[in-house]
Amino acid sequence: MKKKNNMLFFGVLFFVTTVEAQITNTGKLTISPGTVFSSKFNFENSSSGAILNDGELVILSDFNNDGLVFFTDSQYSNTKFIGKKNQRITGSSPAEFTKFNDLIFDNDSKQPAFIVSGKLSVSGNTDFRKGIVNTGRFNGSIVYEIDANHFNTSNESHIEGYAEKKGNTDFTFPIGDKSLYRYAKITSINASAGSSIIGKYFLENSNLSFPHSSRAGNLEQIDNKQYWEIENHSGYAEIMITLSWDKETTSDFIWKDLKNMMGNEDVLTIVRWDKDKKLWIDEGGVAEVNDNESGTVTTFSKISGFGIFALAKIKRSTKNDGYVFVYNAVSPNNDGKNDFFKIEGIQKYPNNRVTIFNRWGAKVFETTNYDSRGNVFNGYSQSQGKSEFNNDSTLPTGTYFYVLSYEVKSGEDSRNVEKVGYLYISDN
């Protein structure tokens, strides 16, 4: 059983103002393992103050840090921001001087429940139990360290404003706007441990700042209700991006009849605003439908740059593209069923190219003149017909991406057709 208020307590000054009570720490406050320190008053850690939290810190009102907050890596600790009225998290100290381990937000007051104008660094997990955390109103920030993550994120509890992720691990940004959670996920292909990527979601029409009329010729329509900003703040990073969509916040033409349009001419993609060309360009994308009301779109390879991203409808082919049907399952077990990646009708278009990527964007297969003289993908990496993961086995079971392009001739005219989609490999 935890013992409450059993801690080393040095240099702490408690005083009552004429307006409200406040605790001010001017020295060193150590919260020992297995102990709890709770403050129902506004808590001020002064420029000379240091808080070592190796136990549990519970803040029931406002919190300001102008000094140092940290924890011991080998000790379990957590900090809880819990309240019945709005709480402000402020301070002049940088994020590296305001370090929390497991963090809990739990406040059901008028939203946003938490106003963050300070800089916070989070390791471990963030539990979004209740309450929106606004970092955008006063230029606050929450920085997620390597391997940090979050859970319970929802419309009722997420970050509105910028969130930052350090390191080279995959991460889902817990971001939203106007009380709606709409995440963006980054998947690391090749990133340095010192890389830092920031993300923010905007529930507004990107056309106001980034004209939709200025777009690549193959783009049909750009979502006019929402967009994301994903920037490489520091270090080197090659990533894939996944954007979430929901019928409540996404333009009708993006999600309406999505299941019926898959595999046809009109498909979804992720687009990026190229600030140098002042043009929306296609970053590629494959849509996944969770149900009739929500889903995701993922780039099938690394993005070519950072900045402003949105969902869009794209025409990758023309109506008279010939009869080509893709079977998107491969089970290389020599049972005569789906032993290779079958593209029905591709033999009629020998000027073709097939490229297959794994979920991290690494190319595992590429060839031209597909399905001629046994030239097919049978579940092995292209490296001497064996897997780059295990030289004696097929590629691991899972989801991959394919990109198929082929030339269609009509008299003296010719045009290129491109199709992208999911490919599932199973060893069953």
Enter the pTM of the model.
Answer: 0.80
Quick one: pLDDT at residue 322? 59
Phi-psi map region of 141: left, alpha, beta (phi>0 left; psi -120 to 50 alpha): beta
pLDDT band, very low/low/confident/very high, at 383 (cuts 50, 70, 90): low
Beta partners for residue 68, in sequence order: 50
Enter the tokens of residue 151. Answer: 């859970």
Q: Are residues 132 and 31 in the same domain?
A: yes
Cα separations in angstroms, 56 against 24, 83, 224:
18, 16, 45
Percent of the chain at pLDDT above 90?
58
Is 167 contained in some domain?
Answer: no
Q: What is the mean pLDDT of residues 27-51?
A: 96
pLDDT band, very low/low/confident/very high, at 396 (cuts 50, 70, 90): confident
Q: Are residues 309 and 333 in the same domain?
A: no
Apex CA 252: angle with CA 249 and CA 257, to 5°? Answer: 125
Output 71 or 283, whichever has higher pLDDT. 71
Quick one: pLDDT at residue 286? 81
Local structure of residue 385 (DSSP, 8 states) = G
- Is the peptide bond prior to 112 cis by the omega test (within 30 degrees of 0)? yes
Element (H, E) at 407: strand 398-410
Quick one: pLDDT at residue 261? 53
Enter the tokens of residue 95. Answer: 């994020």
Q: In total, how many domains does the chain have?
A: 3
The highest-confidence range among 60-74, 313-327, 384-398, by mean pLDDT, is 60-74
Quick one: pLDDT at residue 323? 67
Element (H, E) at 252: helix 252-255
Please check the confidence at residue 2 and state whether its pLDDT lies above 50. no
Q: Are residues 16 and 157 in the same domain?
A: yes
| Structural domain ending residue among the three candidates 263, 294, 316 | 316
Q: Are residues 247 and 279 in the same domain?
A: yes
Is 172 contained in some domain?
Answer: no
Q: Which residues contact 214 (CB under 8 A, 6 or more apart)?
A: 278, 279, 280
Is 362 contained in some domain?
Answer: yes
Please tell me the distance from the alpha carbon of residue 241 to that of residue 228, in angstroms, as a whole number: 11
Quick one: pLDDT at residue 421? 76
Quick one: pLDDT at residue 260? 59
Please tell me the distance from the alpha carbon of residue 326 to that of residue 27, in angstroms, as a whole number: 68
Is 168 contained in some domain?
Answer: no
Q: What is the mean pLDDT of residues 282-311?
A: 87
Domain that holds residue 124: 1-161
Is 170 contained in some domain?
Answer: no
Please check the confidence at residue 249 and state whether its pLDDT lies above 80. yes
Is 208 contained in some domain?
Answer: yes
Q: Are residues 202 and 150 in the same domain?
A: no
pLDDT band, very low/low/confident/very high, at 372 (cuts 50, 70, 90): confident
| Structural domain ending residue among the three candidates 161, 194, 226 | 161
Q: Are residues 292 and 265 in the same domain?
A: yes
Quick one: pLDDT at residue 159? 98
Q: Chain-centre distance of CA 36, in angstroms?
A: 34
What pLDDT, in 10s, does the model give residues 44-82?
999 999 999 999 999 999 999 999 999 999 999 999 999
Percent of the chain at pLDDT above 70?
87
What pLDDT, in 10s, does the model give residues 93-129?
999 999 999 999 999 999 999 999 999 999 999 999 9
Please check the confidence at residue 232 and state whether its pLDDT lies above 80. yes
Quick one: pLDDT at residue 381? 81
Please tell me the distance from the alpha carbon of residue 267 to that of residue 218, in angstroms, as a whole number: 11
Q: Are residues 101 and 132 in the same domain?
A: yes
Quick one: pLDDT at residue 403? 85
Q: Are residues 143 and 209 in the same domain?
A: no
Please tell me the distance from the alpha carbon of residue 225 to that of residue 178, in angstroms, as a whole number: 12
Q: Are residues 198 and 251 in the same domain?
A: yes
Q: Which residues contact 73 (CB under 8 A, 6 or more apart)?
A: none
Q: Are residues 309 and 188 in the same domain?
A: yes
Quick one: pLDDT at residue 312? 94
Quick one: pLDDT at residue 292? 64
pLDDT band, very low/low/confident/very high, at 417 (cuts 50, 70, 90): confident
Quick one: pLDDT at residue 66? 97
Instruction: Tell me the CB-side half-sphere exposure of residue 36, using CA atoms within 13 A.
Output: 10
Q: Are residues 157 and 185 in the same domain?
A: no
Is 139 contained in some domain?
Answer: yes
Q: Are residues 204 and 151 in the same domain?
A: no
| Structural domain ending residue among the three candidates 161, 188, 214 | 161
What pLDDT, in 10s, does the model give residues 175-211?
999 999 999 999 998 889 999 999 999 999 999 999 9
Is 15 contained in some domain?
Answer: yes
Q: Whole-number mean pLDDT of the chain?
A: 86
